[in-house]
Structure 1
Amino acid sequence: MKIITLLISFITFTSITPLKNDIKKAKKPNIIYVLADDMGYGDVSAYNTKSKIQTPHLDQLAADGLMFTDAHTSSSVCTPTRYGIITGRYNWRSTLKSGVLTGNSKALISPKRTTVASILKQQGYHTAFIGKWHLGWDWALKDENAPAKKGWDAKDFDNIDFSKPIKNGPKELGFDYSYGHSGSLDMAPYVYVENGMPTQVPDTVSSRGGKFHWWRKGPTSRDFIHEDVTPNFFRKSFKHIEEQAKTDQPFFLYLALPSPHTPILPTDEWQGKSNLNPYGDFVMMVDDYMGQLIKAIKDAGIEDNTLVVFTSDNGCSPAADIKGLEELGHYPSDKYRGHKADIFEGGHRVPFIVKWPDYIKKGIVSNDIICTTDFIATAADITNYKLSDNEGEDSYSMLPLFKKPNPKKPTREATVHHSINGSFAIRQGDWKLTMCPGSGGWSYPKPGDKEVIETLPEIQLYNLKNDPRETTNLQDRYPEKVTALKTLLIKYIKEGRSTPGTPQPNDAISFIWKQIDFVNP
C-alpha cells in the first residue's frame, strides 16, 4: 500500500509540474538581453584572473549560470554587431559593408525583415528596447527634398524636425515599447526618443572636451544629460521589469547600454574606484548596475524563469587608453591580440554570460564557439518558432548548449568575422583564416601602413589553440587549409547564408564592394 501511495504521489506531481528539461511544456521564460558597449573580454574578472578591474556582480552572474569562453560578435564595431543580434544575419549581407552609422543615418533594417523582437511578439511576448539603438531610423525632415547629410557635423541636423515622430525605428521592427537615442553617446543628436517620438525638442548645442569625456558637438535636449544616460537606462529597465512581472505575459527586454563606450563618464561615486583610470571606473559602475538589475529581477519574483544574457558589442576601444591600462597591469583583451575595430581576436572575442535557473545549472563553462548572431535562432528554439529560409540566415540555436555546453560536434560549422574596414576572417575549429595582411582596423599594422603594403602576406592563417596571440602566420605551411577555409567563406558569401537551408540573396547595392575581390579573382 505504501509503494502504491508513493507511486500515485509521484505520478500526480510529475503531471502538474513541468520538467525543467522539457522546454516545450514549460512556461515561456522572460528574456533580458544586456549589451555592453566596447567592453573587452579581459575587462570581466571572471574571464581574466589577472584583471585589475573587479566585476563581482558579473562574476556572480557567471557563477550562477553559463559562461562562454569562445563567444564572438559578428563585427568588431557597434552598428554591424547590433544588426546581427537583431536579425541573425551578418551585416555585410546588408548595404553596410564597413564602418558604422551615425546619429543621423537612415534605417538600416527593412521593416519587412524578421527580427528577434517580431518573432517573440508573434509568440506572445511583450517586447521592449531601452538604450543605444545605432541601427539608423528615419528622422522627420523639414524639407524632404534636401540632400542627405552624414551626421558628423552640428550643421548636419538643421533639417531634422524634432517635433514629429521618427519612422522605421524599433516599433516597426517588433518592439512594443522603446526608449533610447539614435547613435553612440558621442554622436549627436542628443535626444531621447520614446515610442517613436522625441521626448523634447533640443534647444541647446553641446560638446565636451577631454581625453575620456569628449563628444561631438550637436543639438541636445534639456532632459538628455550625458553623465546620467547609463543610470537612466538602468532605472527605466528596473521599472519595466517590475511592471511586466505583475502581468501573466512573458516579456523580452533588449537593454543596449552606451557604456563603457566614450564619453567615459563614471558617476561621482565611482570616480577613482578602480585605481586605474576613468574607463576602469566606468566598467565597475556598469558591473554594479548589473548587480542592481539582477536584484530587480529577484525582487520581482521572476528570477527562476528569466533568461538573462550579458555580452558586449565588440572589444575594448583604444579610447579607454589601453596602453595606459596595460602599463598598470590590466589587459582589456586578456591574452588576445588587438582591440575594437580589428579582425584580430581582441576585436570580436567578448564575454558572454547566460543565466536561467529553471533550465541552466550553476557554474557551467562552455568552450564551444558561438556568435552574437545566434540569439534569434535561440529565441525561436525556446518559443518553438520555426525559422523560414529567409530568417536568421547566420543564426545557430544556443539552446542545446544550455544543457550540453561542450558537445562532441561543434554547434556552428564555421563563423565569419568582420572588421571596421570590411576585412573578413573565417574561423573553423582551431583554425582562423584572415583575408587581409594586417589588423583590418585600428591596431598595428593598420590598413595602409607601409609594412602592410610592402612586407606582409595578403592573407593570414592561425591555429588559435597553439597561438591565441595570432603571432605566427601559417598560410605558407598549410595551403590546403587556406584553400578549404577560403572556399567555405566564398560559399557563405555567395549563398546568402551560413546555416543549412535554401540560398538567399544578399541585399542589392549600387556600389563596388572592393573587400570581396577574392570571391571573383
Structure 2
Amino acid sequence: MTKLIAEPADRWPEPLRMLWNALDTIALTRITLDLFMLLTRIKRHLFGKSLRLGMLSFVLVSLSCFTAEAQSKPNVVFILADDLGWSDTTLYGTTSFYKTPNIERLAGRGMTFTHAYSASPLCSPTRASVLTGLSPARHGITSPICHLPKATLTATYNSTGPANQKCTIPNSASRLNTDYYTLAEMFRDNGYATGHFGKWHLGPEPYSPLEHGFDVDLPHHSGPGPAGSYVAPWKFKDFDHDPDIPNEHIEDRMAKEAVAFMESNSDKPFFLNYWMFSVHAPFDAKQSLIDTYREQVDSNNPQRCPTYAAMIESMDDAVGTILNTLDRLGIADHTIVVFASDNGGNMYSQVDSTSATSNFPLRGGKATMYEGGVRGPAIVVDPGHVQAGTRSAEVIQSCDFYPTLLERLAIAPQPNQSFDGISLIPALRGEALDRLAIFTYFPHSPNIPDWLPPSVSVHAGEWKLIRIFHGGDDGQHAYRLFNLEDDLGENVDLASIQPERVRELDQMIDEFLDNTDAIAPLPNPKFDPGKYRPEMIGNAHLKATGNTDKKAKRKARNQQSLKPQEPIAGWLPGGTCQLAMKDGSLDITSGGGDPYISYKLPSAVTDNKLVLKFRMSSNARGAGHVFWQERGLSPAFNRERCTQFDVAHDGTPHEYNVEWAVDNAVLAVRIDPATGPGRISLTNIRLTTGDGQEVYRWKL
C-alpha cells in the first residue's frame, strides 16, 4: 500500500481512489458504517455480481491498511518568518532587546540549527526554493519581482549593462511556474488538507497558492508585504479586519485563520503553510508595544529600533498562538513544526532614526552576500523522532526541507523529480550530513550597505568563497575568501594569500553553475573603466521608509518617534550613528550599515584641493569615506563627491589624511568612519589646503 500512497491519488485505480477519498473525509467514529456502505456501493456499481468474497476481503484488508496509514500521518506546520535575522531572536544569545519567548518554547520541543541558510538573501527566491527543493540558480527566480505585472517563467540573459558595471545582470523569472510539483501538491496528493496563510510573493493568479496545491489561501495577496499596514485598516482585496477589532494586527488575524484551519481539519492530516508577513516592511506595529520598547532603548546597542522590536513581539505572539492550539487540540505530539526565515535581517531601511535591526556579530544583512544576508534561525520539531531541546551545527539550507519531509513521510518523489537540497533526517537524528557544500546564487547588486556586484558563494566546512562575476581585470572574476570559524564577521579577506583554496572552491562553483543550468552574468560589452567606482562597492545610505498613503502618513506623524540627536561640537550624527563627547573626543557608536557625522563649515572654502586630517581609533569594520558639499550642487552629499580611505579597525589611534580635489566652494564635510557595527573615537580634526595651510580646526 505504501507505493499507492506515494503516488498522486488521480493515478490510482478508480475503486481505490474512491475508497481513499471517502476515508479522507469521514470521522474515525463512523468508519465501520461508512466501510459497509462504501463496499456495498462498489459491489453494485463497479464490480456488479462478479465481485467475489475473496475480492471483497482484499478490499477490506487494503482499506484497513489505508486507515492505519491515515492515522499515522503526522500533521505538518511550516512557519516561515519574513526578513527575520540570525540575531533577531533569543535563540543564539545575540540580542538583549528583542523578546521571543514562544520561539524559545518551540526550540525546547525540537532541534535548533545554528548554521541555517536561506537559499537567497531575498524573499521570493527562497520561497520558491522551499516549495520546489531547487536552488534559485535552477528555478530562475533570483529577484523579488513576483508582484510586478509582467509574467515571465524563466530567467534570461541580458546582453549589456550600464557603463559603470563590469558585468550584465540576468533577468529574473517573475512567477513560480506551475509545472513544478510543489511541496503543497505533494501533501495534497497524499491525503492532506493544505492551507496557505500570509505572504506569498510568487505571483498572482494563475500562479497563486490555489494553483500550486493549496486548498485555502488567505488573504490571497500577491504583494511583498501586508497591504497598506500591519495594523488595520488594511488594503487587501476582499479581505478586511474584524469590525469588532478596529486596530486588528494582521499577524494576529493570520494566526487566528490558521487556528480555524487546524480546528476544521483536526480529524485528518493537514499541511499548514504559515508564511508570516512579519517582519517585512512597512514598519509599523501596535502602538502600545512601540511605547514599551521605546522606554528600553539603549543608544549603545546596535539593535535599538522600538518599532521593529514591537513587530518581533507580535510575530512571536503568533508562534505562541499556533503552539497553544496544537496543545489544546491534543495534536502537538503528532505534528511536525518547521520554523525558518526567508533571508537575513533588514539593515538598509531607516526606521526610528536608525537601521531596522542589526545582525551583529554577522556582517551585512538582507540583500547582501555576507552572513547577515543569508544566515537565519531554524527549528525542526518532530515529537518521537527529534530529541527535544537539542542543537545542531550542521549546515542546512531552504531547499533541504522538501526532500526531508518526503523521507520522513516515506513518500517517493515524482518520476524524474530531483532536488538541489538533501534530506536532513541524519542531522535530525544527531548525525552528520553527507554534503560537501552549499551554494548561494545572487546575480544582482542592490544599492544598500555592504552590497556586492552580482555574485555566487560556496560554503564548504569553515570556508566561504564569494565569486564576484567578472569583477577582476580583463573580465576575470574577483574573489573574497573568509574562514568563518575564525572570522564570523567576515572582516579579513584571505583570497590573496590562499590562491589554491580559492581555485579549489571556485571549481565547486563552476560545477554548481553548470549543474543547475544557471543563467549567469556575462562580461558587459559597454563597460567603461572611466565610469567605474570600485571604492563605492559596499557603500550606500540607509533608505528612508514611509507610506505614500496620506492617512498612513498622518498616522505616522501622530505617533511618537525617537527624539532626533542634537549636534555635538557642531557635528550632526546621522544614519546608524549614536554620537557623544568623551574625554575630548567624538565617541561614535555604529550600528553598522551607514553611520556618519556631518559638519556645516562657518564659511565656504574655495581652495581646489583640500585635506581632512584627524586621529581615529575603531573596532568596527569596513572602509571609511569622506563626503563634501559643493556650492550649487545637490543633494548636499552625493557619491560623486566622495573619497574612500582604508581604516585600521584594531582599536588603537591612527592618523588619517584624506585628500580630494574640488571645482566649487566647499560648504560642509561628512565623515563615514566605517560600515560595520562597533565603537569609534575621533579627535584632532582639522581641514587644510593641499599645501598644508590650515583652514579650519575643530575644538572638541
TM above 0.5: yes
Give the secondary-structure state (helix, strand or coil) at the position aligned to 2:87.
Answer: helix
Which gives a bigger RCO, structure 1 or 2 (Cα 8 Å, sep 6+)?
1
Q: 1:467 to 1:389 in 2, by over 3 A?
A: farther
Tell me what 1:237 maps to. 258
CA deviation after TM superposition for structure 1 residue 40, in Å: 0.9
Q: Partners in 1 of 2:439 and 2:366 — Cα distance?
A: 16
Larger strand proportion, structure 1 or 2?
Answer: 2
Matched, 1:337 2:404: no
Superposed CA RMSD in Å reads 3.3
Matched, 1:386 2:412: yes
AA paired with 2:122? V
Tell me what 2:438 maps to. 415
Q: Partners in 2 of 1:517 and 1:284 — Cα distance?
A: 46
AA paired with 1:31? V
Tell me what 2:403 maps to. 377
Tell me what 1:487 maps to. 507
CA deviation after TM superposition for structure 1 residue 222, in Å: 7.1
AA paired with 1:412? R
Contact kept, 8 Å, 1:376 with 1:392, in 2: the verdict is no
Give the secondary-structure state (helix, strand or coil) at the position aligned to 2:201.
Answer: coil
Contact kept, 8 Å, 1:28 with 1:382, in 2: the verdict is no
Contact kept, 8 Å, 2:308 with 2:357, in 1: the verdict is no
Contact kept, 8 Å, 1:116 with 1:375, in 2: the verdict is no
Contact kept, 8 Å, 1:81 with 1:372, in 2: the verdict is yes
Q: 1:517 to 1:412 in 2, by over 3 A?
A: farther
Tell me what 1:288 maps to. 317
CA deviation after TM superposition for structure 1 residue 297, in Å: 0.8
Q: Partners in 2 of 1:242 and 1:218 — Cα distance?
A: 27
Q: Partners in 2 of 1:127 and 1:484 — Cα distance?
A: 44
Q: How do residues 21-170 of structure 1 correspond to structure 2 at under 5 angstroms?
A: 27-102=72-147, 104=149, 106=151, 108-137=175-204, 166-170=205-209
Q: 1:95 to 1:355 in 2, by over 3 A?
A: closer
Give the secondary-structure state (helix, strand or coil) at the position aligned to 2:377.
Answer: strand
Tell me what 1:401 maps to. 427
Contact kept, 8 Å, 2:124 with 2:142, in 1: the verdict is no
Tell me what 2:614 maps to. none
Give the secondary-structure state (helix, strand or coil) at the position aligned to 1:424.
Answer: strand
CA deviation after TM superposition for structure 1 residue 388, in Å: 5.0
Q: 1:284 to 1:481 in 2, by over 3 A?
A: same
Which 5+ residue runs of structure 2 have no aligned equivalent?
1-68, 152-173, 297-303, 446-453, 525-700
Contact kept, 8 Å, 1:79 with 1:135, in 2: the verdict is yes
Tell me what 1:271 maps to. 290
Q: 1:389 to 1:432 in 2, by over 3 A?
A: farther
Give the secondary-structure state (helix, strand or coil) at the position aligned to 2:249.
Answer: helix
Q: Partners in 2 of 1:335 and 1:242 — Cα distance?
A: 41
Tell me what 2:270 maps to. 251
Q: Which moved more, 1:47-56 or 1:475-484?
A: 47-56
Contact kept, 8 Å, 1:38 with 1:340, in 2: the verdict is yes
Q: Which moved more, 1:262-271 or 1:37-46?
A: 262-271
Q: Partners in 1 of 2:142 and 2:286 — Cα distance?
A: 36
Give the secondary-structure state (helix, strand or coil) at the position aligned to 1:425.
Answer: strand
Tell me what 1:17 maps to. none
CA deviation after TM superposition for structure 1 residue 393, in Å: 2.2
Q: Partners in 2 of 1:272 and 1:437 — Cα distance?
A: 46
Matched, 1:431 2:463: yes
Q: 1:222 to 1:67 in 2, by over 3 A?
A: closer
Contact kept, 8 Å, 1:185 with 1:226, in 2: the verdict is no
Q: Which moved more, 1:177-186 or 1:258-267?
A: 177-186
Contact kept, 8 Å, 2:89 with 2:95, in 1: the verdict is no
Give the secondary-structure state (helix, strand or coil) at the position aligned to 1:370.
Answer: strand
Q: Partners in 2 of 1:289 and 1:234 — Cα distance?
A: 6
Which of the residues 207, 214, 225 maps onto 1:175? 214
CA deviation after TM superposition for structure 1 residue 90, in Å: 1.0
Q: Partners in 1 of 2:418 and 2:362 — Cα distance?
A: 29
Q: Partners in 2 of 1:462 and 1:130 — Cα distance?
A: 39
Q: 1:84 to 1:367 in 2, by over 3 A?
A: same
**CA deviation map 1:334-354 (0-9, x unaligned):** 311000000000001000011
Q: Partners in 2 of 1:112 and 1:134 — Cα distance?
A: 17
CA deviation after TM superposition for structure 1 residue 118, in Å: 1.4
Contact kept, 8 Å, 1:88 with 1:374, in 2: the verdict is yes
Tell me what 1:184 maps to. 224
Contact kept, 8 Å, 1:42 with 1:51, in 2: the verdict is no
Q: 1:272 to 1:412 in 2, by over 3 A?
A: farther
Give the secondary-structure state (helix, strand or coil) at the position aligned to 1:466.
Answer: coil
Q: Partners in 1 of 2:415 and 2:467 — Cα distance?
A: 28
Q: Partners in 2 of 1:310 and 1:392 — Cα distance?
A: 24
Tell me what 1:260 maps to. 279
Matched, 1:462 2:482: yes
Q: Partners in 1 of 2:417 and 2:489 — Cα distance?
A: 35
Q: 1:468 to 1:26 in 2, by over 3 A?
A: farther
Contact kept, 8 Å, 1:271 with 1:281, in 2: the verdict is yes
Tell me what 2:676 maps to. none
Q: Partners in 1 of 2:435 and 2:364 — Cα distance?
A: 24
Give the secondary-structure state (helix, strand or coil) at the position aligned to 1:318.
Answer: coil
Q: 1:85 to 1:514 in 2, by over 3 A?
A: closer
Contact kept, 8 Å, 1:322 with 1:332, in 2: the verdict is no
Q: Partners in 1 of 2:364 and 2:422 — Cα distance?
A: 26
**CA deviation map 1:407-454 (0-9, x unaligned):** 2xx34321111345342111111111101299xxxxxxxx9xxxx99x
Q: Partners in 2 of 1:347 and 1:182 — Cα distance?
A: 23
Give the secondary-structure state (helix, strand or coil) at the position aligned to 2:265.
Answer: helix
AA paired with 2:393? N
**CA deviation map 1:463-494 (0-9, x unaligned):** 11111111111112222211121111111221
Give the secondary-structure state (helix, strand or coil) at the position aligned to 2:487.
Answer: coil
**CA deviation map 1:76-131 (0-9, x unaligned):** 01110101111111112234344533254536222221111111222222111111
Give the secondary-structure state (helix, strand or coil) at the position aligned to 2:394.
Answer: coil
Give the secondary-structure state (helix, strand or coil) at the position aligned to 1:351.
Answer: strand
Q: Which moved more, 1:39-48 or 1:106-115?
A: 106-115
Which 5+ residue runs of structure 1 have no aligned equivalent?
1-23, 138-165, 191-206, 439-446, 497-504, 507-512
Q: 1:514 to 1:323 in 2, by over 3 A?
A: farther
How many residues are paired up? 408
Question: Percent of aligned positions with the same letter in both sequences?
Answer: 28
Q: Partners in 2 of 1:58 and 1:183 — Cα distance?
A: 26
CA deviation after TM superposition for structure 1 residue 267, in Å: 2.2
Q: Partners in 2 of 1:362 and 1:99 — Cα distance?
A: 35
Contact kept, 8 Å, 2:251 with 2:318, in 1: the verdict is no
Q: Partners in 1 of 2:523 and 2:191 — Cα distance?
A: 44
Matched, 1:471 2:491: yes
Which of the residues 236, 240, 244 maps onto 1:223? 240
Q: Partners in 2 of 1:222 and 1:301 — Cα distance?
A: 30
Give the secondary-structure state (helix, strand or coil) at the position aligned to 2:407.
Answer: helix
Q: 1:345 to 1:221 in 2, by over 3 A?
A: same
